[in-house]
Amino acid sequence: MSEQNNPPANYAPKVRSLYEDYPFPLRDPRDEAKRLVVAEQESLGKLNHFCYGGRQGFGNGFRVLVAGGGTGDHTIFLAEQLREYDARVTYIDISESSLKLAKERARVRNLNNIDWHHLSILDVSSLNAAPFDLISCTGVLHHLPEPERGLQALRTVLAPQGAMSLMLYGRAGRLAVYAGQELMKLVNDGVTEPRLRTQHARSVVERLPETNWLLRGGGPGRKLTELLEDDSNLNDVLLHEQDRAYSVPEIYDFLSAAQLQFIEFTSFHTDPPDFRRMYNPLNQISDPALRSHIARLPRPQQQAIGEAMSCMITCHGFYAAPQATGRIASPDDLDMVPFFLYFDPAILADHFRGAAGRECGLNYRQCATQFEVGKHSADLVAGIDGSRSIGELFDMMHETSNGAATRAELKRDFMAFYEPLNELDVLLLRHRDISPFAEFPLEGGANND
């Protein structure tokens, strides 16, 4: 573990001041002895599937940059996963308070594969480092006065075959938050002292009527608890003075301006989680003519419809790269190994047998999905063991059926469940030459019914 303290020269003073006073998210380094905060978007299995065609082993000097690492969730999770690999993680952030917390968390976990820098994203080129194979930037760019400058700065230090793991606020899903921010601006008019602003905000939140947008939707009590018991969260959500959100079309434009291409959305660990399937309006529309019409629209427009229909996507988690073609592992490659992530498949085979030839329902972490399975789907899903390739799976099924199951039928019945489960990021692929990745338990578990 190395450190270089370069006081940031390029930053928004109010943003830096907020995170010096209220490092976010609130973390106690002592907790590292008993739990690991999983940043789902940075799971090696997901990164490999969506960004590297299923063929990335994360060794041979693999280089990661966590840009705006805050108190360390993504840095610690990536470094823990890469502990036994020939790889290094570089952390940068403008907040010295946040950096100190993140470093202490790494010390408790005895992580020695992190380089620490007190640095602005806008000055990242001053590291004079080799290009990074992965850049993780979560919840940061939308707090810059000019997010485009921040993304372009990161683009200049990205390796040609590298990828970015990004998160930006969702415009439709954040409407209630922005109404709350407007309320706090009215309440704190003329008030500049951070502690007094926070005290005023707490007093208002404590007395919010049930009609307030912040409390609408599920779990108003939980929402109040999250704001009232964590001043860093209260400030980040309601008192931030540099904050913007993006719609799906704006994300595409944002990336294009930096000569980056969109790869795919991914589930983001909010509560409830924002799943990729929420961007697919065909999951909600049953009218055949309308489905046909929407299916012909450009993909970004379909995703924009999904976002507008849901109005619940508060955080857009997604991957991008200089060239998106070929980035996602393909089930057409029979050398790919299907495996489950954060999902218990134990009951799937019996569930599929009972639903063969008709609609099948599945609930996963407050997200319900329905799809049809074929007569071979149950045996196919039972044959997924995390080491058997798709080709080997099909060969096994062909033999056990004495040749009755054709390759075309097996592919159809495999895709019948692969596509909906892949939309939940729970059924992924890696090439047979890539060793399995360690899976770390999610807080609260990842139950499915």
Pair (178, 165) in one structural domain: no
Residue 11 corresponds to which tokens in the numbers above? 């930053």
Kindly state the percentage of the chain with pLDDT values over 90: 82
Kindly state whether residues 107 and 31 are assigned to the same domain. yes
Q: Percent of the chain beyond pLDDT 70?
A: 96
Of 238, 259, 290, the one marking the end of a domain is 238
- Give residue 200's domain range: 173-238
pTM here?
0.94
- The answer to whether residues 225 and 373 belong to one domain is no
pLDDT at 219 over 70: no
Length of the chain: 449
pLDDT tens column, 359-407: 888 888 888 888 999 999 999 999 999 999 999 999 999 999 998 999 9
- pLDDT tens digit sequence for 8-24: 677 788 899 999 999 99
- What was the pLDDT predicted at 446? 56
| Cα pseudo-dihedral 380, 382, 387, 390, rounded to 10 | 0
Residue 292 lies in a domain: no
* Residues 101 and 74 occupy one common structural domain: yes
Q: How far apart are CA 289 and CA 415, in angstroms?
A: 24
pLDDT of residue 146 exceeding 90, the answer is yes
Q: How far apart are CA 248 and CA 170, in angstroms?
A: 8
Q: Is residue 301 part of a domain?
A: no
Instruction: Determine the average pLDDT of the residues in 162-177.
Output: 96
Question: pLDDT at residue 449 above 70?
Answer: no
Residues 113 and 217 in one domain: no
Both 193 and 126 in one domain: the answer is: no
How far is 447 from 344, CA to CA, in rounded Å?
Answer: 7
Q: Please report the pLDDT score of residue 442 as a whole number.
A: 84
Confidence at 443, pLDDT banded by 50, 70, 90: confident
Please give the pLDDT value at position 22: 93
Residue whose C-alpha is closest to residue 401's, from 372, 371, 375: 375
DSSP state of 403: T
Q: Identify residue 383 by its one-letter amino acid code.
A: G
Q: Are residues 404 and 414 in the same domain?
A: yes
328 occurs within a structural domain: no
* Cβ-count burial 258-295 (b if 16+ within 10 Å, e if not): bebbbbbbbbbbbeebbbbbbbbbebebeeeeeeeebe
Q: Looking at the structure, do residues 21 and 102 belong to the same domain, yes or no?
A: yes
| Same domain? 214 vs 357 | no
CB within 8 A of 248, min separation 6: which ones?
A: 279, 300, 303, 304, 306, 307, 316
pLDDT digits (tens, 9 = 90+) for 100-143: 999 999 999 999 999 999 999 999 999 999 999 999 999 999 99
3-state secondary structure of 191: coil
Tally the domains of the chain: 3
60 and 166, same domain (yes or no) = yes
Final residue before a domain boundary, out of 266, 294, 321:
321
Instruction: State whether 158 and 45 are in the same domain.
Output: yes
The mean pLDDT of 195-207, rounded to a whole number, is 96
